[in-house]
Chain A
Amino acid sequence: MSNIVDYTIEPQLVEGNLSRREIDELISTPLNTKPTKGYYIGLSITLTMLLMGVIGVGLSFYYGVGMWGNNNPVGWGFPIVNFVFWVGIGHAGTLISAILFLLRQRWRNGIARFAEGMTIFAVMTAGLFPLIHVGRPWLAGYLFPYPNQHSLWPNFNSPLLWDVFAVSTYFTVSFIFWYVGLIPDFAILRDRTKSKIKKTIYSITSLGWRNSNRHWQHYEMVYLVLAGFATPLVLSVHTIVSFDFAVAILPGWHSTIFPPYFVAGAVFSGFAMVQNVLVIIRKIFHYEHIITLDTLEKMNKVIILTGSMVGYAYLMEFFIAWYSGNPIEQFTFVNRAFGPYAWAYWIMVSCNVIFPQLFWFKKIRRSIPIMFVIAVFVNVGMWFERYVITVSSLANDYLPSSWGYFTPTLTDLAILIGSFGFFFTFVLLFAKTMPVVSMVEVKSITSGAQPSHGDH
């Protein structure tokens, strides 16, 4: 691939001159072959991590929330940090699949299905945390406004309840969007498979889809409508998550820039995670022609864009804290950088602001090992950002007499590791049971796929 970009021709979206049948073949192969040894090793690692999480959660239910490091004044610890982290990761998927669709960036077609799947699993993982951190998750039904025997309704003024609605809506709509995209692919699999059981399953899940153009017409409109709804939805979900913090009057939390800052941060960490997983998937399943290096490079550009937005937010918060003249506000920010949590703060700044700036260089953007490492750093940095925001503001708030230090316990760490296990287990299972690339969408962008005359 030459380094000089000729702007008169559009780059090829699907390389290697794959025919449409070959695409079907390539993408449905993992579903029909037995898992490799590498797959089993991967799955056993993720299942072990998941098991650690299960033990952590079990202990937490049995002995109570005291197993965690939450104390007074730091009443919100790992669970909320993990929740915000995982919801953020989910956003990249919807952005790739909905927003890039609206922007008519067709390079998304190869990665959209996978990204949406990751969104769903990330939101599921995120949803575990509010559930366990209420202590008695079986009473979670009271969060929804249904007529109950106490005649009580949930408190609509609380951002925590807005979260309930936002995350449930996000999960439902993402799932529907993902499923609607899967219907034609299930039809393809139904018609290709030789196994009777699989045929029954695919027939049911494809709902009897017939590829009729009278259906495609409505299908495309609904897809557009869903993408149009999913876009503001994804922005609103992390905005509402940011409201959890920003509506409080704690210094360091009550900052009007939180909504766009959190959304940018979510896209940032989400893209990093998606990029990491895609790098692995394309290697294992030989999808290099579909998930091209160009695609990965474009993702890295998004990473640097959103990383810069996050850096801008840091700067603006710091400046306005000084500008406000409010000594408590000023103390909070100085304390973050030089107080007891300075170690977390500097990890956050170096991983979020410094390392991603390397993506200005084209060589680095197109180098798989380096981009993988930078993306890992981004994920680490974004986790620490949530940690710094939550814990440092709670630990050192208005009254020095209420200050206290937060130390995570082993149970906290076990649950965090378990959440990664939960997520990656689902990703691995997904990769082996469903087509991770949308066959229909990729076929529609191969060369010669659309009629040569016509308005486009």
Chain B
Amino acid sequence: MKEKILYSYSALFDSPDKIIHAANVVQEKGYKKYDIHTPYPIHGMDSTMKLGTSKMAYVALVFGLLGTFGSLFMMYWMGSIDYPVIVGGKPFFSFPAYVPIMFELTVLSAAVMTVVSMLFVFFKLPNLSHPLHDTEYMKSVTADKYGVTIEVSDEQYDEEEISKLYAELGAIKTFHIYYDNEEISTKHIAMQPKFLGFLLFIFIFVAGSTYFTLNKFMFMQPYNWMREQSKLTAQEGSTFFADGFGMRMPVKGTVARGTMPYLFKGKPELAATTLHNPLLPTKMNLELGRKKFNIYCSPCHGYFAKGKSRLHGQFPNPPSLHSVKVRNWPDGRIYAVIMDGQNVMPSYASQLDYNERWAVILYIRTLQRSLNAKESDLK
């Protein structure tokens, strides 16, 4: 049987006047490790025990100010820096609108942190294994008696002296309070297995429920109703079509935007007679034609369409475009060459769009005219 360790020697009194007097005497006698237990706060006890004013108000002030400025900074950053959105024509940093939330967060921060620090830091609660718990002393004190407790660890602790003192002060009952051996623990409360187990449980519960909620629950009915709609989105399958594909190929005859269908593949003579240049030889069109000609045509045809180009020797030379044959070709015939290619030349239909092709043809005409100008052109 382990020997019980004494924690304190305590006494009960039955009136507030007596407990004030008792507290006064105990304090005067120089005891340091003592405490007074009362069912409710007694007026004047704080000064009797020479406790001074509580510092909790400063804690509240600090956290309150943290809340004020923290919330101001948060709203400033979110509203003016990270993602500014114009709302109602108000400036990005609309201070009057921020005041209500600043106030609320001041109060929230101050209240919560003050209480949390009071309970966990100042009181070191929760503490379910204090030696005073479950004693008759405690039960009387929470009901209607007033108690003094002098701890054994106090320097002046002396059994007889305290006994006499209690008798003088008029105590109605005295107790020796012992530690409960099972509950003594040298480890800090944060390291004890029960607490760690509790933390682990909280962690698993929160992580698990968050995962479940966000990744599974929100995809169940009815929460997914707005997410899953009847309309087809890209790459979605569909049971409407036999092959199960939601995405379909374009129907025959679909024309891409910005293009005109070319109906004369392999029929250059037909193209020559049917197609006409829709563009007028304006400066803008000629500029466009020159630009595109220099990019796409000049590597083989040369800058002046003479056939001598910078690919000379590495690639078969094209014939000069200034020949009589080409000069007599209608615009549509040149268009057919661009679209279909001819001999070694491939099709340039994908490099030039509709307007660009006709502009190039205008430019070619300009080049041709420049090398075969007539007398009338000079006038």
Contact = CB atoms under 8 A, between A and B. Distances in A.
B53 interface: yes
Given A21-B144, A208-B130, A191 B83 contact: no
B46 A450 contact: no
Given A204-B126, A211-B142, A222-B118, A455 B44 contact: yes
Given A21-B144, A222-B115, A240 B100 contact: yes
A173 B118 contact: no
Interface in A300-358: none
Residue among B37, B45, B107 with max Cβ neighbours from chain A (10 Å): B107
Contacts, number: 214
A441 interface: yes
A453 B17 contact: yes
Interface string A145-176: 10000011101111101100110110011001
A156 B101 contact: yes
B117 to A, nearest CB: 9
Nearest to A233: B107
A361 interface: no
A456 interface: yes
Interface in B39-53: 39-46, 49, 51, 53
B123 interface: yes
A59 interface: no
Interface stretch (A100-108, A213-221, A368-376): A213-221
A236 B127 contact: no
B112 A20 contact: no
Given A61-B222, A451-B43, A208 B49 contact: no
Interface string B97-125: 11011011101101110110011001101
A20 B144 contact: yes
B90 interface: yes
Contacts of B339: none
Nearest to A221: B54
Contacts of A450: 16, 42-43
A188 B139 CA distance: 8
A250 interface: no
Nearest to B75: A156
A165 B78 contact: no
A397 B127 CA distance: 61
A402 interface: no
Given A157-B94, A162-B104, A208-B128, A444 B40 contact: yes
B104 A166 contact: yes
Nearest to B79: A156
A207 B127 contact: yes
Interface residues of A, number: 75
Residue among A191, A210, A213, A222 with max Cβ neighbours from chain B (10 Å): A213
Contacts of B122: 215, 218
A155 B107 contact: no
A138 B218 contact: yes
A245 to B, nearest CB: 14
A243 B107 contact: no
Interface in A420-456: 440-441, 443-444, 448-456
B297 interface: no
Nearest to B98: A156
Interface in A111-144: 136, 138
A191 B40 contact: no
A225 interface: yes
A412 interface: no
Contacts of A161: 101
A297 interface: no
17 contacts: A136-B223, A161-B101, A162-B101, A169-B105, A188-B39, A192-B143, A209-B125, A210-B138, A212-B36, A213-B38, A213-B41, A216-B41, A216-B45, A218-B56, A222-B60, A226-B115, A456-B43
Interface of B: 15-17, 20, 23, 35-46, 49, 51, 53-54, 56-57, 60, 64, 74-75, 78-79, 82-83, 85, 87-88, 90, 94, 97-98, 100-101, 103-105, 107-108, 110-112, 114-115, 118-119, 122-123, 125-130, 132-133, 138-139, 141-144, 218, 222-223, 226
Interface of A: 19-21, 24, 61-62, 136, 138, 145, 151-153, 155-159, 161-162, 165-166, 168-169, 172-173, 176-177, 180, 184, 187-188, 190-192, 203-204, 207-222, 225-226, 229-230, 232-233, 236, 239-240, 243, 440-441, 443-444, 448-456
Closest 4 pairs (CB-CB, A-B) = A221-B54, A20-B144, A444-B40, A207-B126
